[in-house]
Amino acid sequence: MSNTKNKYVVSFPHLGNYYIPVYNFLNNILDSSTTKILIPKMMSSSTVKYGEENSPDYVCTPFKYNMGNFIESLENGANVLIQAGGGCRYGYYAEVQEKILKDMGYDFIYIVLFDSNGIDVKKVFDIFKKLNPKLKFSYFVYRFLFTLKILNLLDKFETYVRDNYVYEIDAGKFDKLHTSFLNKLKYVKDNKELNIIKKDYFKKLHNIKLKDEAKRKDIIKVGIVGELYTSMEPYSSFYIERELLKMGVKVKRYTTATYLLLKKKAEEKNLLKKSNKYITYALGADGTESVAHSLELIDEGYDGIIHIKPFGCTPEINAMPILQKISNDFNIPIIYFTFDMQSSEVGITTRLEAFYDMLKMKKECNANE
Amino acid sequence: MKVGIPKAMVDYEYPVLFEKFFENLGIEIIYSDNTNSQILEDGINYSVDEACLASKIYLGHVYNLIKKSKEEKIDYIFIPRICSFKGNETVCVKFYAMYDICKNVFDFNFITLNIDLKKKQNELKSFLNLGKKLNIGYIKTLRAYRKAKIYEKQYNRKIVDSEKNRLKESKNTPNILIVSHPYVVYDEHLGKPITKFLENLGANVFYSNINDSIIDKGYQNNYKKFSNTLYWKFSKNLLNGINDYIDNMDGIIYLSAFPCGLDCLVTELTIRKLNDLPCINILLDEQDAQGAGIYTRLESFYDILEERKSRKKVLS
């Protein structure tokens, strides 16, 4: 398909599998006769290279990944870019990225969904209206809410898979179902169809045979806490979750898009209450979550905690001294990973394996006592 | 009662308000020493290694006070928590967490004050709460706060006026604007050696954090010329300062502590927008806080400015 036919080519940065609800949203509100939606190239070493070369040196890593996605999309013909924005430094990314990309000579329309005050639906609608003059406000809001529904379902599905992956008896079943589920979600049209998919796939999901409770005892359980981008975008954390699952470790993770968009605000007081022995005030961004969720994981009897963040993430650095204290108080191993733009996976895997061995020995020791 | 105040980070952002408040209540203040290599070393030891240099120094100062506490009989160490202001204005998240970090790292009595407008804790309220914690009556606290606030206003006016006069009377050598957070540029160990060095070369050094916007609200939106969506209070102030001084400057030095989360974005944008004025971006980390590499760079930067200035004179 040639780009000359399309007036607009719309693109956005990657974040895990969330390109699916985003694609679904854009596909429904934009006019396909004039607009093409370009899913950015899958994260790769070239994304890293472009991002690194064109970002400030010591900015936090998600900025660089976003830049890499944008440049690759622009090179593939995109002329409308969408950035989500959000809290902490994410809210300020947009202005700097736009300036850098324009200085590089690219010409494009830049859309920012959230600013630091939250989302202004009317403002966002007005921008999309320019791309598709036929768009109606009520339909736009409907599609937006529907997209949240898809997002929610996607998170539910992936959380179930994550929680039960290591208990799987016939290897590969979860993966297969996951892929076909993603394909279905991408083009889901309305509520009715979504409900059918939900029923169908969750039935299939629950039908996958799992190990009995008795055989689960020896499995090591690890919780992942930390910054949102590295939690949700597997490439940026060198597929840490997948590595753990491959080792046969049960993984729990709290951060999902559903949590951030819909639950975070209501949870805040609760989190502070849970962790009031250690912190009095919010630590900024997801720092409070890291502390409160670590305490929760300890309560639930997890064997170890993995704290992940991109380089330069201040809120998570704030949380680290507190986590260190918790680690001492409860005698629970916590390992800290900082992900930068380095391209070697080996260093991460080695540390992860050592952590796993340590947890295993600790568990065996405790069992023998 | 004696209160210890670490002379780092937040104390530089509120240079007189806290001090005067305690003074008005008759509470004695013990300051930590000026930053020195021992404080830096202690700070590094007590910090997470990825934390920013400024926050490491802060912990060093807190430890310095704790060491002094027996001798000086310090009852509390005062660590304010600064969070959110009007609209979407906020500060670096490091200021959110300093109190809780210190509480977890050190075993001492800490006292805090929480300015968080989004949670309906404005400045006045936070001071009244502080008074309550110190068992001081409502009226007495209120009066102390008001008096401190008036003093702060006068103090700000005085420094802005004196800087303006200095600019008017400055010598014919290059004027250099330093764009840097006050806790970096005024720090004895980080910024002071640099500004002293520049002054010895003959430069007239000005500071963007002292500008009209701190005495007159009418100037508070000047930062929008450089950055429209900026929401960090202290960075806004620096950009307001650039706007104030820019016409009279020959060069700009951006000075930040590694890895300052705000500066890396704001400086990048400002440098790109102000591309007709010579500038240099200097990043201080714990290794070359006093290293020679920086001085060579400063010297050659200064030479460029001098050269440009003399050429301009010849041309005109």
Who among B96, B99, B229 is closest to A94 (CB)?
A: B229
Domain shared by A182 and A79, yes or no: no
Who among B48, B87, B112 is closest to A321 (CB)?
A: B48
What pLDDT, on a 0 to 100 scale, did the predictor assign at position B285? 86
As a whole number of angstroms, the distance between CA B225 and CA B227 comes to 6
- Where exactly does CATH 3.40.50.11890 map onto chain B? 170-315
As a whole number of angstroms, the distance between CA B122 and CA B136 comes to 19
Domain shared by A191 and A274, yes or no: no
What pLDDT, on a 0 to 100 scale, did the predictor assign at position A366? 87
Q: Do B96 and A59 touch (CB under 8 A)?
A: no
Who among B100, B229, B261 is closest to A314 (CB)?
A: B261
Instruction: Indicate the angle between helix axes A121-131 and A137-164, nearest 10 degrees.
Output: 110
Domain shared by A107 and A149, yes or no: no
Domain shared by A216 and A196, yes or no: no
Q: Do A315 and B93 touch (CB under 8 A)?
A: yes
- Distance in Å, alpha carbon of B101 to nearest chain A alpha carbon: 6
Domain shared by A358 and A246, yes or no: yes
- Specify the CATH number for the domain of residue A316: 3.40.50.11900
Domain shared by A197 and A220, yes or no: no
**Looking at beta carbons, which residues of chain A come within 8 Å of B100?**
278-281, 283, 318, 322
Among B121, B264, B271, B284, pick the best mutation site for testing chain A contact (most A Cβ within 10 A).
B264
Domain shared by A262 and A296, yes or no: yes
Report the residue of chain A nearest B224, measured CA to CA: A95
Looking at A160, A194, A210, the residue that finishes a domain is: A210
**Backbone torsions φ then ψ of A37, nearest 5 degrees:** -100, 125
Looking at A210, A227, A257, the residue that finishes a domain is: A210
Q: Which CATH architecture has domain B170-315?
A: 3-Layer(aba) Sandwich (3.40)
Domain shared by A119 and A168, yes or no: no
Q: Does A284 touch chain B (CB under 8 A)?
A: yes
What pLDDT, on a 0 to 100 scale, did the predictor assign at position A85? 78
What pLDDT, on a 0 to 100 scale, did the predictor assign at position B171? 83
Residues of chain A with pLDDT under 50: 1-3
Strands annotated E in chain A: 8-11, 35-38, 80-83, 109-112, 114-115, 118-119, 221-226, 250-253, 304-310, 334-339
Q: Does A105 touch chain B (CB under 8 A)?
A: no
CA-to-CA separations, B304 to B174, B250, B298, B311, in angstroms, rounded: 10, 10, 10, 11
Number of domains in chain A: 3
HSE value, Cβ hemisphere, 13 Å, CA-based, for A50: 20
| CA-wise closest residue to B160 among B82, B216, B116 | B216
Report the residue of chain B nearest A339, measured CA to CA: B50
What pLDDT, on a 0 to 100 scale, did the predictor assign at position A1? 43
**ipTM for the complex?**
0.92
Domain shared by A180 and A227, yes or no: no
Q: Do A283 and B96 touch (CB under 8 A)?
A: yes
Which residue, chain included where needed, has tokens 């008036």?
Answer: B150
Q: Does B96 touch chain A (CB under 8 A)?
A: yes
What pLDDT, on a 0 to 100 scale, did the predictor assign at position A218? 86
**Structure tokens, B210:** 């002292």
Looking at A79, A103, A135, the residue that finishes a domain is: A135
Instruction: Give the Cβ contact number of residue B303 at 10 Å.
Output: 12
Contacting residues for A104 by C-beta, under 8 A, at least 6 apart: A54, A71
Q: How many CB pairs under 8 A join A and B?
A: 120
In contact, A307 and A323? CB cutoff 8 Å: yes
Domain shared by A24 and A78, yes or no: yes
Who among B83, B229, B258 is closest to A92 (CB)?
A: B229
Burial class from Cβ neighbours inside 10 Å (0-12, 13-18, 19+) for residue A159 reads: middle
Q: Does B275 touch chain A (CB under 8 A)?
A: no
In contact, A241 and A234? CB cutoff 8 Å: yes
What pLDDT, on a 0 to 100 scale, did the predictor assign at position A289? 93
Which residue, chain included where needed, has tokens 């509470």?
Answer: B27
**Looking at beta carbons, which residues of chain B come within 8 Å of A94?**
229
Report the residue of chain A nearest B86, measured CA to CA: A117
**Structure tokens, B94:** 């490091």
Q: Does A317 touch chain B (CB under 8 A)?
A: yes
Domain shared by A220 and A202, yes or no: no
**Residue A227 sits in which domain range?**
212-368
| CA-wise closest residue to A64 among A348, A312, A341, A342 | A341
Who among A99, A116, A281 is closest to B81 (CB)?
A: A281
| CA-wise closest residue to A233 among A265, A255, A258, A259 | A255
Cα torsion through A250, A252, A256, A261, rounded to 10: 160
CA-to-CA separations, B111 to A284, A310, B103, in angstroms, rounded: 20, 32, 10
Domain shared by A218 and A357, yes or no: yes
Q: Does B91 touch chain A (CB under 8 A)?
A: no
Report the residue of chain A nearest B111, measured CA to CA: A280
Which residue, chain included where needed, has tokens 């936090």?
Answer: A60
As a whole number of angstroms, the distance between CA A109 and CA A149 comes to 28
What pLDDT, on a 0 to 100 scale, did the predictor assign at position B289? 54
Q: Does B227 touch chain A (CB under 8 A)?
A: yes
pLDDT in tens, chain B (316 residues): 899 999 999 999 999 999 999 999 999 999 999 999 999 999 999 999 999 999 999 999 999 999 999 999 999 999 999 999 988 899 999 999 999 999 999 999 999 999 999 889 999 999 999 999 999 999 999 999 999 999 999 999 999 999 999 999 988 899 999 999 999 999 999 999 999 999 999 999 999 999 999 999 899 999 999 998 899 999 999 999 999 999 999 999 999 998 898 999 999 999 999 988 999 999 998 876 566 788 999 999 999 999 998 888 787 7
Candidates 3.30.300, 3.40.710, 3.40.50, 1.10.1060; correct CATH number of B2-149?
3.40.50
As a whole number of angstroms, the distance between CA A63 and CA B38 comes to 36
What pLDDT, on a 0 to 100 scale, did the predictor assign at position B105? 95
